[in-house]
Amino acid sequence: MSVPSAEQRHQIIERILSAVDPRLASALRQELVLPGPGLLPSEGQTVVIGGHRAAGKTRLLPLVSALLGRPGLDLDAELERRSGRSLRDWVAQDTQGFRAAERDMLQVLPRGSVIAVGGGFLSNHPDALESCYTLLVPVSFETYRERLLADTSRPRLRPGVSLEEEIRSVYEQRQVLHARVPTVSLADFLRAFRSLGSQA
């Protein structure tokens, strides 16, 4: 893939800002104009797009991929394609097997790619991300809740409790676990491209 021009970068950044959680978009735009670090992945370093379920990781994958000029892959889609199994059924029937498979899949995907991982990846495999550039996609609890209540295709993670209880408890637990993983904020990632644009 070719590296985008300054004008193309600007357009992609605008599309990314339009694709994030609408409740957070305004604050993200404000953060971008403030002084702060701009952090880019090193050449050949795998870029992992992580975050909560329903954060918009798959939606951002082609945009981040285009911005970096690197191929993009959805890890969950690759798991389904290569295994021939539905993720919904797999998680329900063999959660441990699924977690092992998603970890293994990250290791075999081409190094230097942009890879969107599932909502539980950061919580379950922090050590697998040590050499990666992990971009954290933010989502507010309100948007997370609305999206998960509307999307009945996703597997239940805690079928022993109500969906409302599952949504709240999983979000809160993963917030704590995500904070333990070295990640790059979307603002710091985009700020690096904004500064590149100003130098062009």
| Burial zone of 19 (CB within 10 Å; 0-12 exposed, 13-18 middle, 19+ buried) | middle
For tokens 């797999």, the residue is 90
Domain ranges of the chain: 41-185
Q: How far apart are CA 199 and CA 190, in angstroms?
A: 15
For the segment 122-148, what is each residue's pLDDT rounded down to a tens digit? 999 999 999 999 999 999 999 999 999
Superfamily of the domain at 41-185: P-loop containing nucleotide triphosphate hydrolases (3.40.50.300)
Give 195's pLDDT tier (boundaries 50, 70, 90): low
pLDDT digits (tens, 9 = 90+) for 6-39: 899 999 999 999 999 999 999 999 998 888 778 8
pTM of the model: 0.93
CA distance 2 to 98: 34
